[in-house]
């Protein structure tokens, strides 16, 4: 459910390049474009394929990019601990945005329709610190891209790559470096209807969406001069779509958690123009043996229990939640491991590690909040 981020960036970039040349001035409030605006900005989407019918996903083919759709992302988040138990959260996300569905004209290999960008963040819970960085590039001359076999997504030297049976994530940003090896311990989870995940009124307000809910993770994190050996669990989402959201959508709240009983939960609700949930919500729960169940909008509820105001952007985000999945007898209080996990690069959103606690159950997961 991170498509709007992509739109947002694109709008930003287009604005920067076209209207104003190029630049990387620190963003001011004025420069930041509201998510809704970004989503509603009409792209010349007529000739893009749309996610409007169920398909049969094939792997590893479908792990690669689907360039005929406008938007696509590969999303890795996870919670890691050092042997003494020091907690870190990480996020490494690759986005693809098709700038046009028209075929490329011109002989230069720099010509492309595909723009890639990536976010890399580390949360250092003990130090109460959040680090994030950004990469952006066009899919030209091998600078960025995604392919299914062998699986690889990359921008510059940030990459997620299949090596033998493992996934290797590497990224190195401003003061932070990550090198992780991931092994899926559960099979692919097709969200929605066999991977077609509805998100709005129109039939094409949907995406193709699958997850790898639990990936055993080990490797190293570097923050400044310190290097930490870590282990933990990661969540992977891969989603592609063309205009998955309605024009009047403000944003969404997305939650994923690895519960210590082996279950993995994902819930997401879309918020309408007023900022209130507009009824389009979806989720899934996967069981220790890999089986899973799709959750419909009425199978769970999300209640806000606290507010956090960003000192950087002055935006108000929800700061605590209560998630109920009555079917599964789950009532989870959600608390971010630290409050400030706001990305403030070209646009602002909140994405961070959180603790999920219920009666006799707990887990670590990730929360994404956009459109605040």
Partner 1 sequence: MNQHLLIKICFRQSRSHPLRTLLLIIGIAMGVAGVIAIDIAKTSVSKSFDLSTAAITSETTHQVVGSNFNIPQSVFTDLRTRLGIHRSAPVISTHITVMELKNATLTLMGIDPFSEMGLRNLTVRSRSGTTGKDLSGLLTHASGVLLSQAMASQYGLNQNDTITLSFGDRQVQTVISGFLDSRDGATNAIFQGLILADISLAQEILGMGDDITRIDLILTDAAMAEQIVKRLPDGVILVETRRQNRIVRELSRSFETSLTAFSMLALFMGIFLIYNTVSFSITQRRKLNGTLRALGATRKTLFWTVLAEVMIYALVGSASGILLGILLGKGAVHAVCSTVSDMYFVLTVSQTHITVPTLLKGFFAGIFSCFAASVFPAITAARTLPITLMQRSASESALKKYLPLFTLTGMVIIGAAVFMLNFFTRQPGVDFIGVFMIFFGSALLAPMVILLFVRGLLALFKKSWGSMTKMALRNITRSLSRTSVLIASLMVATSVYIGIDIMTSSFRCSVIDWVDSHIGGDIHVSSSDTLKRGLSPRLVADIQALPEVAGISVYNIHRIFSRTSGEVHIFSYITDLSTKKWSWTAADETQLTALLDQGWIFVSEIFAQRNRIEAKMGASVIIDTQTGPVSFRIAGIFRDFFMGGGRVIVNRKLMKQYWGYDDITSLQVFLHTPKTVAPVIERINAFVPESANVKVVSGATIKKGILDVFDKTFLITSALQILTAIVALTGILNSVMALLLERTRELGILRACGAETGQVGRLLLLECGFSGFISGVMALPLGGCLAWVLIDIVNRRSFGWTYDMVTSPKIFLGAVTLSSAAAIVAGIFPAVRAGRTDIGSALHME
Interface with partner 1 (CB under 8 A): 10-11, 13-25, 31, 41-44, 99-100, 102-113, 115, 117, 135-138, 140-143, 154, 156-158, 172
**Shortest separation between residue 363's beta carbon and partner 1, angstroms:** 34
Name the nearest CA neighbour of 304 among 348, 283, 335. 335
**Shortest separation between residue 289's beta carbon and partner 1, angstroms:** 39
Separation between Cα atoms, residue 297 and residue 203, nearest integer Å? 17
**Shortest separation between residue 232's beta carbon and partner 1, angstroms:** 25
**Shortest separation between residue 156's beta carbon and partner 1, angstroms:** 4
Name the nearest CA neighbour of 154 among 144, 164, 163, 162. 144
Name the nearest CA neighbour of 264 among 283, 280, 281. 283
Instruction: Map residue 14 onto helix, strand or coil.
Output: helix
Separation between Cα atoms, residue 114 and residue 227, nearest integer Å? 35
Separation between Cα atoms, residue 348 and residue 9, nearest integer Å? 10
**Shortest separation between residue 127's beta carbon and partner 1, angstroms:** 24
Question: Which residue lies nearer to partner 1 by CB, 46 or 56?
Answer: 46
| C-alpha pair distances (Å), 167 with each of 76, 159, 236, 259, 325 | 11, 10, 11, 22, 32
Separation between Cα atoms, residue 130 and residue 109, nearest integer Å? 38
Q: What is the gyration radius of the CA atoms in the chain, in angstroms?
A: 19
**Shortest separation between residue 217's beta carbon and partner 1, angstroms:** 22
**Shortest separation between residue 10's beta carbon and partner 1, angstroms:** 6
Question: Which residue lies nearer to partner 1 by CB, 172 or 320?
Answer: 172
* Strand duo 151-155 + 144-148: pairing: antiparallel
Question: Which residue lies nearer to partner 1 by CB, 137 or 286?
Answer: 137
Separation between Cα atoms, residue 350 and residue 103, nearest integer Å? 35
Question: Which residue lies nearer to partner 1 by CB, 6 or 330?
Answer: 6
Tokens 């290797």 sit on residue: 168
DSSP-assigned beta bridge partners for residue 284: 266, 294
Question: Which residue lies nearer to partner 1 by CB, 58 or 105?
Answer: 105
**Sign (positive/negative) of CA torsion 299, 303, 308, 313?**
positive
Tokens 């209640």 sit on residue: 303
Question: Which residue lies nearer to partner 1 by CB, 156 or 216?
Answer: 156
Question: Which residue lies nearer to partner 1 by CB, 164 or 174?
Answer: 174
DSSP-assigned beta bridge partners for residue 252: 270
Separation between Cα atoms, residue 3 and residue 207, nearest integer Å? 9
Question: Which residue lies nearer to partner 1 by CB, 152 or 233?
Answer: 152
Question: Which residue lies nearer to partner 1 by CB, 142 or 311?
Answer: 142
**Shortest separation between residue 170's beta carbon and partner 1, angstroms:** 9
Alpha helices in the chain (DSSP H): 3-14, 20, 35-40
**Shortest separation between residue 118's beta carbon and partner 1, angstroms:** 11
């Amino acid at each position: 459910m991170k498509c709007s981020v992509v739109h947002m960036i694109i709008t930003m970039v287009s604005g920067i390049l076209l209207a104003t040349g190029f630049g990387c001035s620190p963003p001011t409030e004025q420069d930041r474009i509201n998510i809704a605006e970004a989503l509603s900005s009409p792209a010349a989407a007529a000739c893009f394929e749309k996610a409007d019918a169920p398909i049969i996903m094939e792997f590893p083919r479908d792990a690669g990019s689907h360039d005929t759709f406008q938007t696509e992302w590969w999303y890795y988040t996870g919670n890691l601990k050092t042997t003494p138990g020091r907690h870190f959260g990480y996020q490494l996300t690759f986005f693809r945005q098709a700038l046009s569905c028209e075929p490329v004209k011109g002989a230069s290999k720099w010509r492309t329709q595909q723009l890639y960008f990536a976010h890399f963040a580390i949360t250092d819970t003990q130090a109460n610190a959040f680090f994030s960085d950004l990469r952006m590039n066009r899919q030209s001359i091998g600078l960025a891209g995604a392919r299914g076999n062998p699986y690889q997504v990359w921008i510059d030297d940030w990459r997620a790559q299949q090596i033998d049976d493992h996934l290797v994530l590497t990224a190195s940003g401003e003061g932070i470096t990550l090198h992780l090896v991931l092994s899926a311990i559960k099979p692919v989870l097709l969200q929605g209807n066999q991977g077609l995940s509805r998100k709005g009124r129109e039939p094409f307000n949907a995406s193709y969406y699958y997850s790898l809910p639990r990936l055993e993770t080990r490797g190293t994190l570097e923050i400044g001069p310190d290097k930490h050996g870590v282990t933990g669990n990661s969540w992977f989402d891969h989603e592609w779509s063309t205009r998955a959201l309605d024009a009047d959508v403000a944003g969404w709240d997305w939650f994923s958690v690895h519960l210590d009983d082996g279950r993995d939960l994902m819930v997401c609700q879309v918020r309408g123009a007023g900022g209130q949930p507009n009824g389009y919500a979806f989720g899934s729960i996967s069981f220790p043996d890999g089986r899973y169940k799709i959750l419909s909008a009425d199978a769970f509820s999300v209640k806000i229990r606290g507010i956090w105001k960003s000192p950087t952007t002055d935006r108000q985000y929800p700061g605590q939640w209560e998630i109920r999945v009555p079917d599964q007898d789950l009532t989870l209080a959600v608390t971010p491991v630290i409050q400030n996990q706001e990305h403030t690069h070209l646009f602002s959103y909140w994405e961070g590690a959180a603790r999920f606690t219920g009666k006799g159950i707990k887990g670590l997961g990730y929360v994404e909040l956009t459109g605040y």
